[in-house]
């Protein structure tokens, strides 16, 4: 069955006019965003930054997944959560803020951690998955299920004063997240243990949102087979080429 495309209203054409003015976006590109569905795993520092820009950009449907609650220590960097929402589930808190930014879009929430078949089915219902989680186990499972469904995965991470972004299109002969995560040590650093400069998650989250929009509209070059590293200390970006691991348990078969 052909996908039903919802056209933009006159008010939406005005609202998103600064997007539409871009030659490689135009009305067609904005309509693609309006008819897209994006799954965001984690609504912490990265997830808040990603979600607010995707909501403002007119993504038709956002699905937020997080089983955590807002803590006072989150307020330093998780910009969708307010003082009044401390103790509230992060999905519910973020949804309140996002609806004030854009009341036209659909926002679904899952306040439990999704795994296995439920996560697989949820991924299949979306066009892009944005990984804003904070643990290697979740990232590896997301990667595996995105590879199975051939759903593009936009991965981001931030700690201390540094961060990284990569996009995995799940195309043939392209690396997946497992290709690089297999090189990581078993020890996982967290913000509560190592600290995080608040604007760094904003930088990385903004880059993830940019990659997501480019994937959906099919404009520009995404970070496929490339890892972009950001260092706030020196205010520098470095790019590294990613190669497929020929012994990868996910994508080499």
Predicted TM-score (pTM) of the model is: 0.95
The answer to whether position 223 is within a domain reads yes
Cβ(51)–Cβ(95) under 8 Å?
A: no
The answer to whether position 249 is within a domain reads no
**Total domains in the fold of the chain:** 1
Domain that includes residue 158, residue range:
14-241
> Half-sphere exposure of residue 234, counting CA atoms within 13 Å on the CB side?
7
The answer to whether position 205 is within a domain reads yes
The answer to whether position 147 is within a domain reads yes
The answer to whether position 4 is within a domain reads no
Cβ(131)–Cβ(142) under 8 Å?
A: yes
Q: Compute the residue count for the chain.
A: 253
The answer to whether position 162 is within a domain reads yes
> Half-sphere exposure of residue 133, counting CA atoms within 13 Å on the CB side?
21
The answer to whether position 152 is within a domain reads yes
Statement: residue 235 has pLDDT above 90? yes
pLDDT (tens digit, 9 = 90+) per residue, 29-80? 999 999 999 999 999 999 999 999 999 999 999 999 999 999 999 999 999 9
| CATH number for 205 | 3.40.50.720
Average pLDDT over residues 87-108: 98
Average pLDDT over residues 1-22: 89
Residue ranges in the chain assigned as alpha helix (H): 10-15, 17-20, 26-34, 45-57, 90-101, 116-124, 136-149, 177-181, 191-194, 198-217
Task: Give me 115's structure tokens.
Answer: 């795994």
């Amino acid at each position: 069955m052909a996908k039903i495309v919802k056209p933009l209203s006159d008010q939406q054409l005005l609202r998103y006019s600064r997007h539409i003015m871009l030659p490689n976006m135009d009305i067609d590109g904005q309509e693609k965003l309006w008819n897209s569905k994006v799954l965001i795993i984690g609504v912490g520092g990265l997830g808040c930054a990603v979600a607010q820009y995707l909501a403002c950009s007119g993504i038709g449907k956002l699905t937020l997944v997080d089983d955590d609650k807002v803590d006072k220590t989150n307020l330093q960097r998780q910009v969708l959560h307010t003082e009044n929402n401390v103790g509230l589930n992060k999905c519910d808190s973020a949804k309140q803020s996002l609806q004030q930014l854009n009341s036209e879009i659909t926002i679904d929430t899952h306040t439990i951690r999704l795994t296995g078949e439920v996560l697989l089915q949820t991924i299949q219902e979306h066009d892009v998955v944005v990984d804003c989680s904070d643990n290697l186990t979740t990232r590896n499972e997301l990667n595996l299920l995105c590879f199975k469904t051939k759903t593009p995965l936009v991965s981001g991470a931030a700690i201390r004063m540094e961060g990284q972004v990569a996009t995995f299109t799940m195309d043939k002969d392209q690396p997946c997240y497992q290709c690089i995560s297999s090189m990581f040590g078993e020890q996982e650093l967290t913000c509560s243990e190592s600290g995080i400069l608040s604007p760094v998650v904003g930088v990385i989250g903004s880059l993830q949102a940019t990659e997501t929009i480019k994937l959906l509209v099919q404009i520009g070059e995404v970070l496929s087979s490339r890892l972009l590293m950001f260092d706030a200390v020196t205010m520098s970006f470095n790019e590294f080429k990613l190669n497929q691991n020929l012994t990868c348990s996910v994508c080499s078969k």
